[in-house]
Amino acid sequence: MDFMIAAIITIVGLTTPILLAGLGELVVEKSGVLNLGVEGLMLVGAISGFAVTVFTFNPWAGVVGAAVGGALASLIFAVLVLQLNSNQVATGLALTIFGTGLSSLIGVNFTGRIVAPFGSVFPDVLAKDPFWKLFFGYSPIVYFAILMVFVVGWFLKKTRAGLILRAVGENDLSAHSIGYSVIKVRYMAIAFGGAMAGIGGAYFSLVITPMWAEKMTAGRGWIALALVVFAGWRTGRLLAGAYFFGILMALELYAKAAGFSFLPSQFWAAMPYAMTVVALAIISSRGTAGASAPACLGKPFTPST
Amino acid sequence: MRYKLEKRREPSTTMLVVTPVASVIVTMLIGILAFDALGVDGWAAVRDIFLTPLLASHKWQDVAVKAAPLVIIALGLSLGNRAQVWNIGAEGQYIIGALCAAGVGLAFGQAGGFFVILLMIAAGVIGGALWALIPAVLRTRFSVNEVLSSLMLTYVSLQVLGYLVGGPWKDPNGRNFPATAPLPESQMLPSLEGSTMHLGIIVALILPFAFWLLMSRSTFGYQVRVVGSSPNAARHGGFDAKQTIWATMLIGGAMAGLAGSLELTGALHKIDLGFPSGYGFTAIIVAFLGRLNPFGCLLAGIVLAVTSVGGQLAKTTVHIPDSTAGIFQAMMLFLILASDILIRYRIAKRA
């Protein structure tokens, strides 16, 4: 029982960053833009969140710092693809390379430092209870991530602004011709995606470790990208998919304890990445993913004026 | 006065050549200003990163050794990018190539010589190509985005490397350190007497000519360009898009595998956890900075190698972390992508 509770808590922790980054990227892609810079944005968020926490002794300020850092970095990408119509695939890759370098450069001064942890959200009676901590013992970012699943779902389906965002992603020329600013909508979507990836990154440096290490997101940004495809651009499936990947990632940590030591540890470490490929193959070959992808995804917006 | 963008009738070849050069220069200028603002001697930092490796002759061999894998990988990648095939897993193909070469070397024990080295390199080429075949099959058969699959496989390849060098291939005389035993001398690629310049550098100098011939003088090169620029025309012209994806992915993987096996046999002579040094990712920048042109890749490979060597240098001279070179490299890529628009548009005064 204790083992199960510990395992579930681990899985929730591993799931949170990809859930946050995935939700952000889902909104970006719904607006018709493919941002492959998620991994770089997460790293920028991880270091900016950490740096702000070191200076302010306040992890909440750190989370805000991570969101701002991620959003600012994503604006470089936004200017290039929206204003200069640069190739989105290449520009996203450049953003990841840039974010990796920038975070290492800033991080040099923060290696080995430690930061103030988050306090519990709930009273200790619940948060520290051997059983109830399963529900109440997490970092505030975890609850924020789950809340955001519903917020993003509600925004996209029920609000006028969400409808406009989807229209821009499905048919930018029509949205433009009825008077919506395609560029403005996409700017906001990209900045939101950057902020969410930034918070996802900060989860590594403020909650999981909590300290700064180079390239500490270890490819999770790419898993978040795969997650969006896997989810067929739907928030509910994104949540389910994130937990699926979270379980795979937890396997590496628990394989030994559970008596799977007949396979090398590297096998389990490779598992989430290999399974992502398999999952993409299954989802993509059924054709459901392709059918639900936003029609303008990855294409530059070129009104003929 | 207001300016606007005006579409050109023909893409500008001048801009095609001018923009990469301008990107490098502007990156240097931004670097000087940014470092000065951060309280570091900006000119000294930029000079050491961009110029010293070129001006100091004792740094040339370092530059050549670093440029060789970048050029070789970038040649393969640029072919794919021209066909709009986005293989970003070259790092994984490089690793698998090196591992295959090492495996053949181990199988021969202490035996070596021309044929063994040739077999090792062939194994690297085939290994890299087969590793790239996975995303190719997934793309054509299951329509899986090759960007994600090729990258995921890079993470898998890192674990394969970790397993092999820490387990079955670990050097028995290596104090339990996760690394393969150093290659016997007879399995090393010949180097220039008294230097680290190995035969792989010659390969990197010859290959751009081969790729230029392939791109501009063969039907296959034509097919790649047509499939990339106008998929509909390609279909009407009877060019098979799937076949193009397969071919460009295989060539991309083969080149990365070649680079990996040359790096093993020519430069590093053993594989440890530090063997993957990001050449596969940097080569993406090389391909774009070189405008996907074979000779452009050669020049851009040298530029990127200069910044890598210079980054190491600046670490000791002006005490900036070596990740700085990575930021400069990314900045060059941003600028080159931003300036793409000048090829198809011109800046004109608003009437």
- Contact check, Cβ <8 Å, B334/A104: no
CB–CB contact B330 A98 (8 Å): yes
Place of tokens 């991570």: A66
Which residue on chain A is closest to B162 by alpha carbon? A266
Contact B148 A91 (CB under 8 A): no
User: What residue has token string 């035996």?
Assistant: B111
CB pairs under 8 A between A and B: 130
Please give the single-letter amino acid code of residue B228: G
pLDDT of residue A291: 56
Chain A closest CA to B112's CA: distance in Å? 31
Estimate the share of chain B in helix, then strand, then coil, as percent rounded to the nearest 5. 75, 5, 25
Q: Which structural domain range is residue B274 located in? A: 3-46+59-349
Residues of B at the A interface, defined by Cβ within 8 angstroms? 86, 88, 134, 138, 141-145, 147-149, 151-153, 155-156, 159-160, 162-163, 166-167, 281, 284-285, 288, 320-321, 323-327, 329-331, 333-334, 337-338, 340-341
Q: What is the pLDDT of residue B1?
A: 52
Question: Which residue of chain A comes nearest to B154, CA vs CA?
Answer: A273
Cβ <8 Å between B155 and A273: yes
Asked if residue A26 belongs to a domain, the reply is yes
* pTM, to two decimals: 0.91
In a domain, A138, yes or no: yes
Min Cα separation B279/chain A (Å):
12
Nearest to A14 by CA among A217, A192, A235, A195: A217
What per-residue confidence (pLDDT) applies to B108? 94
Q: How far is A175 from chain B (nearest CA, A)?
A: 23
Whether A131 is covered by a domain: the verdict is yes
Which pLDDT belongs to residue B52? Answer: 92
Six token digits for residue A73 = 């970095």
Residue B51 lies in a domain: no
Domain that residue A65 falls in: 2-292
What CA–CA distance (Å, rounded) separates A69 from A71?
5
Nearest Cβ partner for B330 among A101, A108, A287? A101
Considering the domain boundaries, does residue B54 fall inside one? no
In this predicted structure, what is the pLDDT of residue A288? 55
Does B52 reside within a domain?
A: no
- Is residue B258 in a domain? yes
Number of domain units in chain B: 1
Question: For residue B175, what pLDDT is reported?
Answer: 85
The 10s digit of each residue's pLDDT in A99-151 is 999 999 889 888 888 888 887 778 877 777 778 877 887 889 999 999 999 99
Angle between helical axes of B13-37 and B279-289 (0-180°, round to 10): 130
Interface residue A274 vs chain B (CB under 8 A):
yes
- Residue B77 or B278, more confident: B77
**Domains held by chain A: number:** 1
pLDDT (tens digit per residue) in B204-220: 999 999 999 998 888 88
Residue A263 near chain B (CB below 8 Å): no
Q: State the CATH number of the domain containing residue A157.
A: 1.10.3470
On whether residue B53 sits in a domain, the answer given is no
- How much is the mean pLDDT over chain A? 89
Per-residue pLDDT tens digits for A138-177: 889 999 999 999 999 999 999 999 999 999 999 999 999 9
- For A34-137, where are the alpha helices, taking DSSP H only? 38-56, 59-78, 88-107, 124-127, 133-136
Q: How far apart are the first and last CA of chain B?
A: 10
Phi, psi of A6 (to 5 degrees): -60, -40
Which among A20, A47, A22 has a CA at the least distance from the CA of A101?
A47
Structural domain contains residue B321: yes
Residue A45 lies in a domain: yes
For residue A130, the distance in angstroms to the closest alpha carbon of chain B comes to 35
Let me know if residue A299 belongs to a domain: no
CA-CA distances (angstroms) from residue A47 to A24, A158, A198? Answer: 19, 35, 9
CB contact under 8 A, A86 and B341: yes
- The domain spanning residue B314 has which CATH number? 1.10.3470
- Could you tell me if residue B167 is inside a domain? yes
User: Residues B275-320: pLDDT tens digits?
Assistant: 998 899 999 999 999 999 999 999 999 999 999 999 888 888 888 8
Question: If pLDDT is split at 50, 70 and 90, which confidence band does B37 have?
Answer: confident
Which candidate from A90, A223, A277 shows the least CB-CB separation from B337? Answer: A90
